[in-house]
Amino acid sequence: MELPAHGWSKEEVYAALEKKRRGDVPWRSGRAFAYVYDGGPEIEEVAKKAYMAFLTENGLDPTAFPSLLTFENDLIAIARTHLHGGPEVVGTFTSGGTESIMLAVKAARDLAKAKRGVTQPKMIVPITAHAAFHKAGRYLGVEVVATAVDPVTFRADVAAMEAAVDERTVLLVGSASGYAHGVVDPIAAIADLAQRRGLYCHVDGCIGGFLLPYFARLGESVPDFDFRVPGVTSISMDLHKYALTPKGASVVLFANDELRRAQYFACSQWTGYTMINPTIQSSKSGGPLAAAWAVMHSVGDDGYLRIAKGLLETKRAILEGIRGIDGLAVMGEPEMCLVAFTSEDVPIFPMADAMKARGWLVQPQLAFGSSRENLHLTIQPSNVKWTETFLQDLREARDEAKKAAEAYEGTRAFAAMFAERLTGPDAMAALPTLIESLGVGTGGAMPDKMAEVNAILNAMPRPIQEELLTRFVSMLFQPTSTARGAR
């Protein structure tokens, strides 16, 4: 593909954009329980106007665009108050939870090296901790030690974490809440362990940090997880989730400025301008920052409390509804409006296909450790009005999947057989054949029903599974081969 020989008109460009999005998840429908946090048209309007107003401003140099510096300082102050931090707590606006987590890990790594001489650092995380910690470990050369969780509650086992601590340990991690099951780890116990052993303690509040304080104000039992807990040294909290701001908005807060400075990068050892980056990014649009500031000031505390009330009521109704469906079981007791449910006698992956056929997007999660394969719901504001319809369709999907259980056993047997083939030295060579056999086409075209794909992934050894997914995504991202300027 090449640039068009002659530039298109604005109308042609806009029409082409709309055509491109035809296959996207219809997130405004309110029937998506993953990926998008839809606050409604009024919030979207405010966000887009603010985003576009500061689209071109560059966050590279805070002295060139002091407006962006002001936005960030305001948002960090709001986040600090929200998470009960004192005047010594500082923070940084980032592009998302993964960047926030990576910066917290970098700060712990660098300070442990400077103060304790640790050159082969490790961090201890529960197996329920977000994959971003594993990503941070690989990027930053920090070994990740994943420890067991309670097999019923899915909360971190602090005794197991303590048993894993050694002289190379620099960081302990807990989640508030974990993504997979929506439960809050025993942060007070983890932070106490960190204090006793002279370690840093990070709380991953990316998905729950903003909303859980509102749930607590509404009467939900939420254990303390923020800077009220002695020993907590950093917290990540996304704004582009339950603060309903556009994507590209998170914060990482540190207990003091010494911790935050360890995440910074400065370089004057080259012939160009002196470089100082508080975050991983260098040049960055002011759009996400301005939009986050605008949305949060537009919604306000009373607005977020009202939204939280609807989410809490919906979570409770969905939990009650799922528990009332024969054969389904909720995993853990989620404080957050994140719900995972499974079954011992109803095949769970065909249920996801049956819900998709009814217009719902639910997220399959593969088995790992003590967590069975399950379906995951991220309950967000546009889901609230659909509770009864969703539960009725879920009952029908359960019935449909149960009727297909015998046929699905054949799928599971095939998956187990194929997975066994992928344990030898020729495993990697078999992956292209597997991808083709699953109905995955060139350019990443996927089969309409994913139960077989998920069953095979579920049965695979994890390293092979990761390699398969890597190759699949590499297939997705291929240069377009159409003619010049194709519409």
Rounded distance between C-alpha atoms, residue 245 and residue 238, angstroms: 9
Give me the pLDDT at residue 238, please: 99
Q: Where are the domains of the chain?
A: 50-295
Give me the pLDDT at residue 440, please: 64
**322 vs 484, residue with greater confidence:** 322
Closest CA to 202 of 325, 106, 277, 294: 106
Rounded distance between C-alpha atoms, residue 244 and residue 259, angstroms: 28
For 57-66, 138-147, 155-164, 462-471, which range has the lowest pLDDT when averaged over its residues?
462-471
Q: In CATH, what class is 50-295?
A: alpha beta
Give me the pLDDT at residue 443, please: 56
- Tell me the pLDDT tens digit for each residue of 89-141: 999 999 999 999 999 999 999 999 999 999 999 999 999 999 999 999 999 99
**434 vs 386, residue with greater confidence:** 386
Rounded distance between C-alpha atoms, residue 306 and residue 18, angstroms: 34
| 32 burial type by CB count under 10 A (0-12 exposed, 13-18 middle, 19+ buried) | buried
- Tell me the pLDDT tens digit for each residue of 423-434: 666 666 766 766
Q: Which residue has the tokens 């011992």?
A: 344
Provide the b/e sequence for 194-210 (b: ≥16 CB within 10 Å). beeeebbbbbbbbbbbb
pLDDT-based confidence at residue 439 (cuts at 50, 70, 90): low
Give me the pLDDT at residue 452, please: 85
Contact (CB, 8 A) for 194 and 201: yes
Give me the pLDDT at residue 486, please: 64
pLDDT-based confidence at residue 422 (cuts at 50, 70, 90): low
pLDDT-based confidence at residue 369 (cuts at 50, 70, 90): very high
First-to-final CA distance of the chain: 11
Rounded distance between C-alpha atoms, residue 464 and residue 415, angstroms: 13
Rounded distance between C-alpha atoms, residue 202 and residue 199, angstroms: 10
